[in-house]
A = this chain, B = another copy of it.
Amino acid sequence: MRIAVDAMGGDHGIPVLIEGVKLALETNAKITQLLLVGRESEIKAGLSQAGLRDSRIQIIHADDVLTMDDKPMDVLRKKKNCSMAKAINLVKEGSADSIVSRGNTGGLFTASTVLLRPIEGVKRAALATVIPTPKNEFILIDAGANVECKPLHLAHFAIMGNVYSREVLGYKSPRVGILSNGTEETKGNELTQAAHRLCKLLDLNFIGNVEGHDLFENRVEVVVCDGFVGNIVLKTMESIATAMLHWLKDELYKNPRRMMGAMLAKNAFKTIKKRMDPESSGGAPLLGLNGTVMKAHGSAREKAIMNAIRMATESAQLKVNHIIREDVARANAVFPVEAVSESAN
């Protein structure tokens, strides 16, 4: 597999990225070529600093960088030669199988959608984030790319999340649910109720509506929602997890007895912190495009970069997009004609 890596962007600069690339090349024999896209001199300096020499590495120079302050559309206009756009174009031209980027999520979504185009039959690509729980992992799709959605979009998100959960995460028959304000079929807003009716027609393990209560109780592997709700839920989860760990820390520092206890039990806290930490998880795939696009967290460090590269490699190798295209075509054939036509992007 040939992986294009956007070397720019992210919170930790090129040296950390290069260390992640090094880990990936060491552990992942499926990589046949790794294209580092960005400022050549900085990348070269990073490679020599890391002592990384590997014939699979090729540098593709790009002068410009899309920053977090740039607007998503800048990636196609003012900064159309930035590292991110160049990396996506490598996939478009067929020079790479996947792209990994830590950069501006909105920019990555916009550029990928415009340059790679959605898979035939898919109206909207979506950002899928994998969330670890004590007992399983669930995909939240859409985690923030599409603020306004139509029922067909949500039904396609269900299909795409199902394919990713099954093919990449290895769940045999992922339980797919629509995030709603109650489990009964009559619950939900107009959007989710209509999406519910479409999902019932699908050939997958659709369990109906799921509530916030179900997310961490090992009841669902694919949680479908629009990007507005998905963004809020994702950030709320990150926020409360962080707050609880800080809160616990404050409480544990309140007296020597507690501090002693915390010392003895510190590995327990470490395990949880590590598992919850977005920095140690892998990437969030953009699903539904003609090309494998993996968003690594802006704060991704070495191991997270390695994981994102691994996921990008596996997604391409397992032909996730090909399977999505087939599953969506089959679904569109059974959906009511109005549902398919009214959702023209």
List CB contacts (< 8 Å) of A216-241 with chain B: 216-217, 225, 227-229, 231-241
Cα distance A237–B233 when bound, in Å?
A: 9
Closest chain-B Cβ to A343's Cβ sits at a distance in Å of 17
Contact flags A176-189 to B (C-beta < 8 A → 1, else 0): 00011110000111
Interfacial chain B residues near A276, Cβ < 8 Å:
244
Cross-interface CB contact of A134 among B147, B192, B227, B247, cutoff 8 Å = B247
A211 & B235 in contact (Cβ 8 Å cutoff): yes
Cross-interface CB contact of A261 among B236, B237, B264, B271, cutoff 8 Å = B264
Cross-interface CB contact of A215 among B239, B247, B262, cutoff 8 Å = B239
Contact flags A137-169 to B (C-beta < 8 A → 1, else 0): 000000010011000000000000000000000
Given contacts A181-B144, A250-B134, A261-B262, contact A214 B233 (CB under 8 A): no
B248 & A258 in contact (Cβ 8 Å cutoff): no
B251 & A271 in contact (Cβ 8 Å cutoff): yes
Given contacts A216-B243, A241-B240, A243-B216, contact A189 B228 (CB under 8 A): yes
Cα distance A250–B268 when bound, in Å?
A: 9
Cβ-based interface call for A58 (8 A) = no
Interfacial chain B residues near A179, Cβ < 8 Å:
232
Query: What band does the interface of chain A fall in when counting residues whose beta carbon is under 8 Å from B?
Result: 35 or more
Cα distance A264–B254 when bound, in Å?
A: 12
Specify the main secondary structure of chain A where it touches its partner. helix
A189 & B265 in contact (Cβ 8 Å cutoff): no
Closest chain-B Cβ to A269's Cβ sits at a distance in Å of 8
Closest chain-B Cβ to A105's Cβ sits at a distance in Å of 11
Closest chain-B Cβ to A256's Cβ sits at a distance in Å of 9
Interfacial chain B residues near A240, Cβ < 8 Å:
215-216, 237, 240-241
Interfacial chain B residues near A243, Cβ < 8 Å:
133-134, 216-217
Q: Nearest CB to that of A267 among chain B residues?
A: B258
Interfacial chain B residues near A187, Cβ < 8 Å:
147
Cβ-based interface call for A59 (8 A) = no
Cβ-based interface call for A51 (8 A) = no
Contact flags A14-28 to B (C-beta < 8 A → 1, else 0): 000000000000000
Given contacts A144-B181, A231-B212, A238-B213, contact A244 B272 (CB under 8 A): yes
Cα distance A192–B229 when bound, in Å?
A: 12
Most chain B C-beta atoms within 10 Å of own C-beta, residue among A148, A248, A266: A248
Cβ-based interface call for A263 (8 A) = yes
Q: Could you list 15 examples of A-B contacts with CB < 8 Å? A: A134-B246, A147-B181, A147-B187, A179-B232, A180-B232, A211-B231, A213-B238, A215-B240, A233-B233, A233-B236, A241-B244, A251-B267, A251-B268, A251-B272, A254-B268
